[in-house]
Amino acid sequence: MRIRPDRRTRYGLTALLAAALLLSCTNAPHPEPSSAAPVGHPVSPSPASSPPGSPTPSPSLPPRPATSPSSSSAPPPPAPPTGRPSSDTPKPPPTAPATPKPPPAPGTSSSVVRSTASGGRTVALTFDDGPGAATGAVLDLLARYGARATFCVTGRNATAHPAAVKRIRAEGHRLCDHSVNHPQPFAALPRQQQEYEITAAEEMIVGAGGAGTEVAWFRAPGGAFTADNQLIAAQHGLRPLGWSVDPRDWARPGTPAIVATVQRELRPGGVVLLHDAGGDRSQTVAALGRLLPWLIAQGYAFDFPAV
């Protein structure tokens, strides 16, 4: 029997639709096999089963642990400081111990001397700031009365008047270091500058006096002694030299005032401060001309300061 064309077309379309449905069913994902009971046996709900309506967790992932109410996704706060530096904090280098200062030269004291070497009824006459214009007249008076004295000279003046330094030595007097330039206030200078003033002055005095020149003392300008500059002097073999009588002749109070102060304040073994430079010293020279015979009449012998 012959089939009409319209029916063949319908049969062809039907066959195509059936093939498409079959192909769609073949490519659909198959459900995972479960551990459910065989068909016909109902599954009893277990105590751990989720209640009806709750999503069932995937069996391939472990359950997420419960989150405590205090936890959060923010990072934990930093621990409070313990007061100790962390290992990453650089530690300061250890402080080097202070370099100990060298002790005084053997046999030299750093204390300020204000008395004569021999003690008893002796006096030490000292003249500061020279050599100067009055140094020659002072030396002439000392020679006339057979007196000895100590001259505290500056390095600058010693270099400028080497002949006077040599005469001081030649006539039996002693020399004292009185700094290079007589700066004041001396104690306010940096330690290095004070050391220079002391040591350089000594070299200059020795250079002016020639071979064999000795300097035994250091007198700070203005008497501005400190423990530090006393030690510097002693480290270089110089005894700090002070005084016990100051008639303030440098202020030119008048010849009678200079004489009266010395006569009133002098005690046996005393050290008298006078000046042979640093200004007009005519009052000092006149006062010395009156003091020398008085000292001899009082039984005083002329001595040097203690060392």
Q: List all residues 6 or more positions away from 238 whose beta carbon is below 8 Å from its beta carbon.
A: 108, 177, 198, 202, 215, 216, 217, 218
Of the residues 178, 236, 275, 303, only one is catalytic, namely 275
Both tokens of 226, joined, read 């400190």
Q: Which of 165, 157, 105, 102 is nearest to 130 (CA)?
A: 157
**303 is annotated as an active-site residue:** no
Residue listed under structure tokens 């330039």: 181
Largest CA distance in the chain: 185
**249 is annotated as an active-site residue:** no
Q: Give me the active site residues, please.
A: 128, 275
